[in-house]
Structures are given as C-alpha cells and as structure tokens.
Amino acid sequence: MNTILNHHTSFEFVVRKKQLTKHKTLNSSVLLTKLKDTADKTLSPYNDLLIQKPLHFEFDLINHAYLNDELIVKNQLRKLNKTSLELCIVVSKKKAKHNNVICKAVFGYAFKKAS
C-alpha cells in the first residue's frame, strides 16, 4: 500500500479556442474530463484493488481559465485507510503571480473486498 501513498503526478495543457464557451472561458466539461482522465491514469496501476466507480466526487470551480492560459494539473493522495482512498486534484495557472487555482476536485474510491 505504501506505493499508493507516494504516487503523485502532474501534467500541463494550454487552453485552446475549441475548448472555450461562448463567454470565452474554459468549458467546465473540458475541466471535468481532464480531472477524470487524471484520476483514471493515476489509479490505473491499482485497478485490481479498487472499485472503479467513485464513491463520491467533489468539484469546486474557483476561477476561470481563458484562451492560451497554461494550466498545470497536479494530484496527490489526500486520504488512505483500509477501506477507501481519496485523490485530490488541483488545476492552476502555470504562470500566475499568485497561486491562481482554477479548480479543485476530490475523487473517493472504495477498495474491493478481499475474497
């Protein structure tokens, strides 16, 4: 189990025109897809241990992202116990003068019962 604790990943992407809403902000569905893909990729080595459908999902949109914003997606394990784990994912602007967080999400998963 300790290998899960030390598993942190991150990746970057740039907001493109096709990802914008009519209000010229990053479409929340694009963010949600990036978050889900990140969770799936991070936890894929542990698919045999986890129930695939999250027990819970929390999403907090804090700021908007705009065309050509460079965003970084980081995740880390927030909670781990014998029955479940929580993965926290944060999306922020890469070149912001302040910690300009776009959104935060938490995915909660349950472990499969030992047979």
- Domain ranges within the chain, ordered by starting residue: 2-110
* pLDDT number for residue 78: 87
* pLDDT number for residue 103: 96
Domain 2-110 CATH superfamily: Hotdog Thioesterase (3.10.129.10)
3-state secondary structure the chain: CHHHHCCCEEEEEECCHHHECCCCCECHHHHHHHHHHHHHHHHHHHCCCECCCCCEEEEEECCCCCCCCEEEEEEEEEEECCCEEEEEEEEEECCCCCCCEEEEEEEEEEECCCC
pLDDT digits (tens), the chain, 115 positions: 444 545 567 889 999 999 999 999 999 999 999 999 999 988 888 888 898 888 999 999 999 999 999 999 999 988 888 899 999 999 999 987 776 999 999 999 999 886 5
* pLDDT number for residue 29: 95
